[in-house]
Amino acid sequence: MPSLTRTGTLSFDGEIDSTTLPTHLADALWKAEASTVKTQNNCVTFTRRVFRFVSNWNVLVPFESGSLTVDAEARQIRYCLSIRQLVLFGTALVAVISAFLLLSPVWQPLLFMPVMWLWLVGANLAIGIYRFERFVCRALASAVISRKGSACGDS
């Protein structure tokens, strides 16, 4: 099965100590109730269990696992997020509904199933990535010692 991931990069300013940043990001992930968080050198990895007692507004809900890598020279954080469970659950739900519709005499609702999949997977993914990037930016902002402007630069 292919690994479905989403990657991106966020820049941070010179006021942030990049040597302590992985630990700071790990603390932020623990506060977001990740199931596991591991820090190794400049990389922080996390996982989250499917069934955990958190709100659907939790920033980690759309993602099965991920990693944040601090590039001190480029002053960037590269992230990689697994979206496999989101895609599988969304596809399974649409498939089950489609199967029931195939058993009914009315077939027209089947035309709506691609839109439903795009909503379940696409919209949740778009919102989830936006929220995750804002989460990382807030973590960066809280790591700034003397703040002068935004902690996240344009990438």
pLDDT: which is higher, 15 or 119:
119
pLDDT (tens digit, 9 = 90+) per residue, 65-121? 999 999 999 999 999 999 998 999 999 999 999 998 888 888 788 889 999 999 999
Q: How confident is the model at residue 146 (pLDDT cuts 50, 70, 90)?
A: very low
- pLDDT over 50 (residue 145): no
The mean pLDDT value of the chain amounts to 87
pLDDT (tens digit, 9 = 90+) per residue, 37-61? 999 999 999 998 876 656 667 899 8
Domains of the chain by start residue, with CATH: 5-153 (3.30.530)
Output the pLDDT for position 74.
93
Q: Is 40 helix (H, G, I), strand (E, B) or coil?
A: strand
DSSP conformation class of 91: H
Residue 109: both structure tokens together: 């609702």
Q: How confident is the model at residue 147 (pLDDT cuts 50, 70, 90)?
A: very low
Decide if 153 contacts 136 (C-beta within 8 A).
Answer: no
Mean pLDDT of 9-21: 88
Residue 57: both structure tokens together: 């507004």
Q: What is the largest CA-CA distance in the chain?
A: 66
Output the pLDDT for position 48.
87
Decide if 141 contacts 151 (C-beta within 8 A).
Answer: yes
Output the pLDDT for position 52.
64
Residue 19: both structure tokens together: 């040597």
Integer Cα distance of 13 and 150 in angstroms: 8
DSSP assignment of 131-142, as one string?
HHHHHHHHHHHH
Q: Produce one character per residue of 96-109: b if its CB has 16 or more CB atoms within 10 Å, e if not.
A: ebbeebeeeeeeee
